[in-house]
């Protein structure tokens, strides 16, 4: 149920908005008053289910355990990947600006991951 009065058409509205407003004006007289039925139904609905407080720390611990488990289960692969990354880094010219850009990129990625993991749903 919408108790707010309809907004007036603005000069910068597009033709679809204008057509929808015209249709609403045309059918406004056909509105059937529900005597507060909609409001009573909405008030009787249960509150949305909240996520448990332990969910975020549990997921963080599970992901950390999974990463550690993979690193321990595949030590040769971890060493090979680290060796290949080091080879890429050593094979390239390294400047202070390049190091700063890499650190900044890692910082942004870390903050973005923390913001996603710690957001309130």
Q: What digits encode the pLDDT tens for the residues 29-65? A: 777 788 889 899 999 999 888 888 898 899 999 999 9
The distance of Cα 22 from the centroid of its chain, to the nearest Å, equals 36
Residue 99 token pair: 């190091």
Residue with tokens 């290949």: 84
Percent of the chain with pLDDT over 70: 88
Residue 106 token pair: 């890692």
What string of DSSP letters covers the chain?
---SPPPPPPTT--HHHHHHHHHHHHHGGGPPP-TTHHHHHHHHSPPPPPPPTTHHHHHHHHHHHHHHHHHHH-HHHHHHHHHHHHHHHHTS---HHHHHHHHHHHHHHHHHHHHHHH---
Query: What's the whole-model pTM score?
Result: 0.33
């Amino acid at each position: 149920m919408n108790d707010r009065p309809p907004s007036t058409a603005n000069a910068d509205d597009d033709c679809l908005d204008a057509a929808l407003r015209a249709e609403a004006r045309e059918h406004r007289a056909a509105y059937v008053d529900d005597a507060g039925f909609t409001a009573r139904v909405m008030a009787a609905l249960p509150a949305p289910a909240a996520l448990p407080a332990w969910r975020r720390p549990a997921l963080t611990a599970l992901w950390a355990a999974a990463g550690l488990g993979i690193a321990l289960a595949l030590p040769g692969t971890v060493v090979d990947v680290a060796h290949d990354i080091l080879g890429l880094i050593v094979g390239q010219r390294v400047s202070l600006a390049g190091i700063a850009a890499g650190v900044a990129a890692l910082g942004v990625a870390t903050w973005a991951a923390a913001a996603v993991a710690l957001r309130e749903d």
